[in-house]
């Protein structure tokens, strides 16, 4: 099939390359000439395992191309995917201006019947709004659909190529069939494709993210309680996770969730709910608990030094909001670093991928070390914020030698408290005995 994917961010690039890999002819387009030039040179603007190989292969084989000619790609396409950004506006709602601008371009370039599908996370009602915008200019029939994307950063290619489910929301039977046909090769079992109306599809995406985020906030809140009660959240996690109704995933207490999706999507669904007079209390609590949790590591460090952080050197391992990405949007490490700097501490940090992005924010205000041990050298404490593999089993003997005090803060509960205390470390985790 002939496809146009408008927007070459995370979702657009992964979807474009994935569709091409299944034999479709895909034009990935963007208004940013700089991004398109980079992609044409074979460079991938984001770090995502496997994406570079997928893009290179499909570009070489002529199924995937990059261009700034948005109108041309739309005219050639049978299906147009909208994968542009929907950032958080000042009032907390999702800013739809980029989506609406694409809608206008589509309306003006509609030369035959096309399916217009949103892949970006968009508020409930966006498909209806797009129908109006496109319809205002269109001289040809068209159908709109909501086709939310559930990929996780760091595992995005795999998520796209082998989806748990494909949600196709449209009130138009022809659009449903065309999209089902496109996705059939991606799913081994056809019941993984769920057809529904557009509003339900749009809400499904928010519901999934809000539910996942609420699990994390629930466990983070419980971790605070566990500490007060002398229980260990890690044992509680394993205990509750053994119930298949609960399941083992997304129950890890930590420094709070970050990333480009959860914080923005919680805010947007709260805004949407508010606009129809409904208070989504659980989502509001999820947000509030997360804001508190993101400040927790800094308060634990501060409490350890009796509030006297001036002149202290704190090492931070892990800056990306999670492993396998260089993305630092809403990362808890940034909240920690801001608080440490504010309190007068010196910060020495390391991350396997995210240091260039962190350097762009902090410049020379923090020290970034090429090696993880270099960051720990001479520090009064080490805080691990992101659970990259290399941090899971470090050489603790070496750490003990190079830290100026054997103090560890384990923001992800990846280390064994008893073992470390036995080695003479002062260990502090999240919600641990």
Could you list the active site residues?
Answer: 261
Q: Is 258 in the site for ligand UDX (CB under 6 A)?
A: yes
Considering beta carbons, is residue 175 or 296 the nearer one to ligand UDX? Answer: 296
C-alpha angle 36-37-42 in degrees, rounded to nearest 5: 95
Is 259 a binding residue for ligand UDX by CB under 6 A? The answer is: yes
Count of CA atoms in the C-beta half-sphere (13 A) of 328: 21
Task: Give the nearest distance from C-beta 66 to ligand UDX in angstroms.
Answer: 23
Do the annotations mark residue 300 as ligand-binding? Answer: no
> Residue 70 or 157: which CB sits closer to ligand UDX?
157
- Does residue 250 bind ligand UDX (CB under 6 A)? yes
322 is in an annotated binding site: yes
Question: According to the annotation, is 250 in a ligand binding site?
Answer: yes
**Site stretch for ligand UDX (CB under 6 A), options 85-93, 100-108, 137-145, 209-217:** 209-217
Does 151 appear as a known binding residue? yes
Instruction: Tell me which of 21, 30, 48, 153 binds ligand UDX, using CB under 6 A.
Output: 153
Nearest distance in Å: CB 209, ligand UDX: 6
Of the candidate residues 81, 305, 321, 391, the single one contacting ligand UDX (CB under 6 A): 321
Residue 150 in contact with ligand UDX, rule: CB under 6 A: yes
Choices 112-120, 168-176, 259-267, 302-310; region in contact with ligand UDX by CB under 6 A: 259-267
Told to check if 251 binds ligand UDX by CB under 6 A, we report yes
Minimum distance from residue 255 beta carbon to ligand UDX (Å):
7
Q: What is the 3-state secondary structure (H, E, C) of the chain?
A: CEEEEECCCHHHHHHHHHHHHCCCEEEEECCCHHHHHHHHCCCCCCCCCCHHHHHHHHHHCCCEEEECCHHHHHHHCCEEEECCCCCECCCCCECCHHHHHHHHHHHHCCCCCEEEEECCCCCCCHHHHHHHHHHHHCCCCEEEEECCCCCCCCCHHHHHHCCCCEEEECCCHHHHHHHHHHHHHHCCCHHHEEEECHHHHHHHHHHHHHHHHHHHHHHHHHHHHHHHHCCCHHHHHHHHHCCCCCCCCCCCCCCCCCCCCHHHHHHHHHHHHHHCCCCCHHHHHHHHHHHHHHHHHHHHHHHHCCCCCCCCEEEEECCCCCCCCCCCCCCHHHHHHHHHHHCCCEEEEECCCCHHHHHHHHHHHCEECCCHHHHHCCCCEEEECCCCHHHHCCCHHHHHHHCCCCEEEECCCCCCHHHHHHCCCEEECCCCC
Residue 335, marked binder: no
How far apart are CB 364 and ligand UDX at their closest, in Å? 27
Q: Does 263 bind ligand UDX (CB under 6 A)?
A: no
Residue 310 annotated in ligand binding = no
- Residue 257 sits in the site that holds ligand UDX (CB under 6 A): yes
Greatest distance between any 2 Cα atoms in the chain: 75
114 is in an annotated binding site: no
Q: Residue count at the site for ligand UDX (CB under 6 A)?
A: 18
User: Is 231 within any annotated ligand binding site?
Assistant: no
Q: Of residues 331-390, which lie at the interface with ligand UDX (CB under 6 A)? A: none
Give the binding range for ligand UDX (CB under 6 A) out of 78-86, 144-152, 366-374, 419-427: 144-152
| Minimum distance of ligand UDX from residue 52's CB (angstroms) | 18
Q: Which residues are annotated as a binding site for substrate?
A: 150-153, 205, 250-254, 258, 322
Q: Which residues bind ligand UDX (CB under 6 A)?
A: 150-153, 209, 212, 216, 250-252, 254, 257-259, 261-262, 321-322
Q: Which residues are annotated as a binding site for NAD(+)?
A: 30, 35, 86, 121, 153, 264, 329
């Amino acid at each position: 099939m002939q496809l146009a994917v408008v927007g070459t961010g995370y979702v657009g690039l992964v979807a474009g390359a994935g569709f091409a890999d299944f034999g479709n002819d895909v034009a990935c387009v963007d208004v940013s000439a700089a991004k398109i030039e980079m992609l044409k040179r074979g460079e991938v603007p984001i770090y995502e395992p496997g994406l570079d190989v997928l893009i290179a292969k499909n570009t070489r084989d002529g199924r995937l191309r990059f261009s700034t000619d948005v109108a041309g790609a739309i005219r050639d396409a049978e299906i147009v995917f909208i994968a542009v950004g929907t950032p958080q506006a000042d009032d907390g709602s999702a800013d739809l201006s980029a989506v609406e601008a694409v809608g206008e371009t589509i309306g003006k370039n509609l030369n035959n019947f096309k399916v217009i599908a949103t892949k970006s996370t968009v508020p409930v009602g966006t498909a209806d709004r797009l129908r109006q915008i496109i319809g205002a200019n269109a001289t040809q029939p068209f159908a709109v659909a909501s086709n939310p994307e559930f990929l996780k950063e760091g595992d995005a290619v795999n998520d796209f190529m082998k989806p748990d489910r494909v949600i196709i929301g449209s009130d138009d039977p022809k659009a449903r069939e065309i999209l089902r046909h496109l996705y059939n090769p991606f799913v081994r079992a056809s019941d993984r494709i769920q057809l529904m109306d557009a509003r339900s599809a749009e809400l499904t995406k928010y519901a999934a993210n809000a539910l996942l985020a609420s699990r994390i906030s629930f466990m983070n809140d419980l971790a605070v309680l566990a500490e007060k009660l002398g229980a260990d959240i890690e044992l509680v996690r394993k205990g509750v996770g053994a119930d298949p109704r609960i399941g083992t995933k997304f129950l890890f207490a930590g420094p709070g969730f970050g990333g480009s999706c959860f914080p923005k999507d919680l805010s947007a669904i709260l805004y949407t709910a508010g606009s129809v007079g409904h208070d989504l209390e659980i989502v509001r609590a999820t947000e509030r608990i997360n804001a508190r949790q993101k400040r927790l590591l800094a308060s634990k460090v501060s409490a350890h030094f009796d509030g006297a952080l001036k002149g202290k050197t704190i090492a931070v391992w892990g800056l990306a909001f999670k492993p396998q990405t260089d993305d630092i949007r809403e990362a808890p490490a940034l909240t920690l670093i801001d608080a440490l700097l504010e309190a007068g501490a010196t910060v020495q940090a390391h991350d396997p991928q995210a240091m260039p992005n962190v350097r762009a924010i902090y410049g020379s205000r923090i020290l970034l070390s090429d090696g993880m041990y270099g960051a720990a050298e001479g520090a009064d404490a080490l805080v691990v914020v992101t659970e990259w593999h290399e941090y899971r089993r470090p050489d603790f003997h070496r750490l003990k030698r190079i830290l100026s005090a054997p103090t560890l803060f384990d923001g992800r509960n990846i280390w064994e408290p008893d073992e470390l205390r036995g080695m003479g470390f002062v260990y502090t985790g999240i919600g641990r005995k």
